[in-house]
Structures are given as structure tokens and as C-alpha cells.
Amino acid sequence: MPATRAANVAPTAHCRDHVASRPTWRCRACGTAWPCGRAKRDLLAEYGTRRTDLLVYLATLWEEALGHLTERHPGTDPAESHERFLGWLPPRPPSR
């Protein structure tokens, strides 16, 4: 998937206090590892049924974060950070 697509699916600016701080990838508002609980709720509310768009957005951020995190912490486990960025998403609805 092209990384540039994320620009088209990035969330709108409102209620986005709990955003990631680069290059630490901690929440700007609460200081925990991003996405924090509030960020997850905000993202789910903001994207609603557009799950694929949210996946693309998070995957793009994960790719960027992995570069930063690996640089700062060479032992960063890609699978673990993938779980952190994408593993919390609820499963796809059975059908539509």
C-alpha cells in the first residue's frame, strides 16, 4: 500500500489532543505509549465504519514509528510494535 495514501485518510483535526509525539511515540496529552486508550477511542469514533481507512492510517504511522523506535531502541521488536499500533483494533464485522 502506498504510504502517500495516508494523507487522504488522516483524521480531521478536531478532538485530537491525544496525538503521538515524534520521535518518542508517546501521547502528547497523557504521556503514555501511543495510541493511548483515549486516542483509540477517538480514532474509532472518528473513523466509524471506515475500518480500512483506519487500518491504512495506523499502518502508515506504525511504519514511521518503527523507524524512530528502532533508531532509539535497537532492540525494538517489530511484531510487538505492530501489535501496539494495530493489534487493538476490534475484529472486522462478520458481513455487511
Query: Which of 93, 57, 56, 63 shows the shortest CA–CA distance to 78?
Result: 63
The residue type at 18: H
Binding of Zn ion at residue 84 (CB under 5 A)? Answer: no
Binding of Zn ion at residue 27 (CB under 5 A)? Answer: yes
Q: Minimum Å distance from CB 19 to Zn ion?
A: 8
Output 23 or 37, the one with its CB closest to Zn ion: 37
Single residue of 29, 59, 66, 86 touching Zn ion by CB under 5 A: 29
Per CB under 5 A, which of residues 35..64 are in contact with Zn ion?
Answer: 36, 38
User: Where do we find the cell 532492540?
Assistant: 75
Asked if residues 61 and 81 have their Cβ atoms less than 8 Å apart, the reply is no
List of residues 6+ apart from 27 with CB closer than 8 A: 18, 19, 20, 21, 33, 34, 35, 36, 38, 39
Binding of Zn ion at residue 18 (CB under 5 A)? Answer: yes
Binding of Zn ion at residue 65 (CB under 5 A)? Answer: no
Footprint of Zn ion (CB under 5 A): 18, 27, 29-30, 36, 38
